[in-house]
Structure formats: structure tokens, C-alpha cells
Amino acid sequence: MLELQGIPVSPGVAIGPALVLDDEGYRIPRCLIPAADTTAEWGRLLSAFGKVAKQLEVNRKQTAERLGEEAGRIFSAQQQMLSDPGLLAELEGRVRQQQQSAAYAVSRVLHRYAEALGKLNSPFLAERAEDVLDIEKQLLHRMGAVTSDPLSNLDEPVILLARNLTPSETANLDRQYVRGFCTEIGGPGGHTAIVAKGLELPAVVGIGQFLDRIGQGSQVIVDGDRGCMIVDPDQATIDRYEERAQIRQKLTLRLAELRDLPAETVDGQRVTLSANIEFPHEVDACLQRGADGIGLYRTEFLYLSSNEEPSEEDHYEAYTEVIGALQGRPVVIRTLDLGADKMGHTSLTEPENNPFLGLRSIRLSLKNQDLFRTQIRAVLRAAVHGDVRMMFPLISTLQELRTARMLVNIVIDDLREEGAEFRSDIPIGMMVEVPAAVIMIDRFAEEVDFFSIGTNDLVQYTLAVDRSNESVAELYQSSDPAVLRLIQQTVDVSNKTNTPVGICGEMSSNPARVLLLLGLGVRSFSVPPLAIPRIKKVIRSVTIADCEEIADRVMQLESAREVDLYLLDRLGDLVPELVVQ
């Protein structure tokens, strides 16, 4: 049994056989062949070499004709690698003497070559490492050792193990068969983690290098609550997890009884408890758990889950589906938050050195105004069907907000001229996600109808810590005193100016931190659907006076660790049912 620790990003437990993917999306298992077959296996490998060499020559000629001899020499370098006598000798030894399958020998040897080149700290040699991996992939395809997409033909439940998963890859996982996943890299605030929660897939990221230690089909437990992955568990461990599953099931049934009760504190303070969604089909799960509405509809997943850029009608149909399912409850539609680690199949930006500080979110929308106007048109048209609010992400300056609002007015004029059915009076708000927005929050309050604090990016930009980087994950804490002061400042100004404010970041799905947020004056939360019952349980178990006392104490503390230990202790006092599970 092997137990590895990572970062829990999506709660729950899943047990099943491993499907191991390398960076390239495949994994070649260690395979030995009978001694009698080694000559044929070596011949198969030589045949693949010949075919790849021929294709490289074709590529070289065609590229040279189009782009010149210099460009054609890219493939000359690969041809030289392929004909290296040392490479051939090592592969022959592995196949003939060690009786390794040709595919396994190719994968091991060329991966080792690439790793050696990558460690030389030279951009030129790093590119050569990519050339080596490209040759490996071509050889494996020629030998039929890999398919183009191992996730497309699943026919049994699996636990997916990978180096990394992008948000779009995660969004497109087959929920019928993929029961959970673990990755070597990734952080707690990455968008992949958000998608996993939306899909209710148990997930652990940032485990570190482990793929080379796991066999295909090995039994794996993903513990998304505690952030661990257990490989080949013994029977006692399996029994323990099955017992935990029964306890969780009983708690889930008890919390489900709160569904039709209001999110109201013991002393009668009504709190709005809404849900975050990525996909229209999630609305049913939100309503089944008693959500007051949708506080954050992340529309960029229209892009991430499709091979084509969505049209105005695609947007409109998705929004009307959500609005119809909500039956009069409100929905906050956030305009596109593409860029950084969220990009569709067609990139809208040039490669950037610091994409999280670059052309992303509202900046990308304002740079691609045709795309932005298409979405605004769809939102305003869909708004005739229900209670719709529109929200701009990552606003940093007043000018960005004013430009976005100006585009809304232009679209309104266009729709009016066309005689289209639409609404021009929907509330327009902004996300508070960067310190600059907090510093200017009193000025923004004069120009928006509501605020929503996005703690995921607010933490990232306040603490200068990459939310998706496992190496600095311990610094990524929404309970850091600096972040808490920004939240407090935003809430105080919002209350003073009568500007509604809520929290839609991941912080609001943490029961202990909700105690603090209530004490700071937050009265509106939007959380992943799975978290609704627990957060409602917290709200219905405390008084505002309890929470204000907690907030007073927390704002005197000096570190995230002190804050979390104190909050966990108070959660144990006030809602012990949620601590022991």
C-alpha cells in the first residue's frame, strides 16, 4: 500500500482502478515479451523507425519549400536523432537481451534522453528535448501502441491519474466513468479545482511526481476531503473508507432535511445562500439542495467545453435554460473570464510571460469587443425570461468598468433599433478580485448596482501567490490577515453606501470561515452546489452576536494559521457535527 499526500480541491471519496496518463495523454506499461519473439519485435521497431524517417523527410522537404531551408532543418535534427547509432544500440539491447516490448523500450529510453536535455538549463536544448518526445510519440503511433485519445473510449469506472489537467480537459471528462482524479501539479485555487467541484468529482492535486510509481489498473482511493491518494489499499483501509462513506451518507441525509428551510441564523438574520455553476445542467442539483438562486454563473465554460466558438444563440439558449430552471429565482451571469489557465480551443491571445497578469478576463473581453458584444446581446435578450443580473470580472480600474458599461449601452441601442425583445434595466455589478478595486471601492460603489467578492483571485493578487502552483500552496490562504482586511474594507464601504455585496469565492464554502464572514457583515454567499447543505447548517446554528465576537477576535490575529486554528476551534463549539466528519 502506498499513501501520498497532496492538496484537497474537491471533496468526496472515490475508489476504483487507475487510468494513468502521462503528459502526452498516454502511458506505456512495462511489458516483457517471450525470448522467441524478440527478433520479430526488433523488426517491428525497425519498421517503425523507417516509416518515421520517411515522414520526417517529407516534412523537411515540404517545410523547406514553403519556409526555406533554415526551417526545414528543424526536421533534419530529428532525422539525425533517429539515426543515432547509440540510440539504436540501446533499444536493441533492451528488446533482444532484456526482452522489453518495443513500445516500452522506446518510451523509457527517449524519455530519459529528454529529461537529460531538459536539465541542462538551456532554452536551445530544452527545445531539443521536445524534439525527442515528438520522435517518441511518432514511433509509438507507428507501432500502434497509443491511441489519440484514451479518454474517449472508456467503458468502466476509473480513477484518472495525470501530470496535470487543464480546466477544459476537466470539463470534458466523462462523468459516467471518471469517478475522481489526482494530478502531480496544481494548486488549491486553480480553475481545474473549481471545475472539479462543479462536477462533484473527488480530486487531489499537487501530489508531486508519482506517475512512474503507479501501474495501470492499480486499485486507488482518492480522498478529496483529506487530500490523499492511496494505491493498492489493504483491506483494513478499504473497510475504514467504507465506514466513512456510511457516516457521510447519514450526515448528508440529515443535512438534506434543511433543504426547504431558510438560511437564517438563530437570532433571525436572513442570509442569501446561492450557488456557483459552470453548466446549465447543474441548476437541478442546486435547487435540490435548497439554493436561493445562482450567485455566479461562469459562462466561459461555453468556450471550454466546445470545439467551436459559441454563437449568440448558443449563449442565449444556455442562459434561458438556466433562467427557466430557476423559476423566478435570480441568476448572476458573469461575463467571460477567459485567459490565463482558461482558454478555449482557439486562443484569443498571444503567448504571455505572465498570463495571470496579462490579457485575461475583462481585459480580454474589452480587447475582443465583437466577442464581448455577442455575449452582452445574449444576456440582455435572455433577461426578459427572469431575474437576471450581469457581472464583470477582474475590474481593476474605473475606466475598465466605464468602457464595459458603455458597450452595454451600445448593445442596447443596437437591439432597440432591431426591434428585438430584451431588457435594458438589469442590475450590473462587478467582482472585487484585486487590491486596486478594494482601494477604490467607494468610487466603484457610485457606478455599480452590486459587488461580489471573488476570494480566489483576491488571495492570488494580494499575496502575490500563483493560485495553481503547488509549490506555494501553503501561502495561498484566504484566511490571511491581509486578505481579511480587504474583505472587511469592502463590506464596510458597501454597507455604508447601501451597495449589496456578497462572496462567491471558494472561501465561502468553508464552514469555519463562514463564521468569520458572517461576523464581518457578509449576508450573501454563493458556493458550489455540494457545499450548500453544510453552509446552511452553519448559518442556522449560530447567532450574529456569536459571529461578530469571532470576527473581533480574528482581526487581532497575525497569521492564517492562527486564524484557521481559532476558527476550527469555534466551529467545533458551535457546529460540532461538521468537524468530526
CA-based nearest residue to 282, from 270, 295, 272, 269 = 295
Do the annotations mark residue 298 as ligand-binding?
yes
Please count the residues of the chain: 581
The label of the residue with cell 435578450 reads 381
Question: What is the spatial distance between Cα 9 and Cα 12, in angstroms, rounded to a whole number?
Answer: 10
DSSP string, 392-456: ESS--SHHHHHHHHHHHHHHHHHHHHHT----S---EEEEE-SHHHHHTHHHHHTT-SEEEE-HH
Phi and psi, residue 220, nearest 5°: -135, 140
CA-based nearest residue to 21, from 149, 144, 161, 216 = 161
Contacts (Cβ under 8 Å, ≥6 apart) of 48: 102, 139, 142, 143
Contacts (Cβ under 8 Å, ≥6 apart) of 219: 15, 16, 17, 18, 231, 232, 233
Do the annotations mark residue 353 as ligand-binding?
no
Cell of 205: 492535486
Question: What is the spatial distance between Cα 331 and Cα 152, in angstroms, rounded to a whole number?
Answer: 33
Contact 20, 214 (CB under 8 A): yes
Do the annotations mark residue 433 as ligand-binding?
yes
User: Known catalytic residue: 228?
Assistant: no
**Marked catalytic residue, from 191, 286, 315, 547:** 191
Contacts (Cβ under 8 Å, ≥6 apart) of 374: 311, 312, 315
**Marked catalytic residue, from 182, 286, 504, 547:** 504
Do the annotations mark residue 457 as ligand-binding?
yes
User: Known catalytic residue: 547?
Assistant: no
Question: What is the spatial distance between Cα 480 and Cα 561, in angstroms, rounded to a whole number?
Answer: 8
Binding residues for Mg(2+): 433, 457
| Catalytically active residues, by annotation | 191, 504
Binding residues for phosphoenolpyruvate: 298, 334, 456-457, 467
Binding residues: 298, 334, 433, 456-457, 467
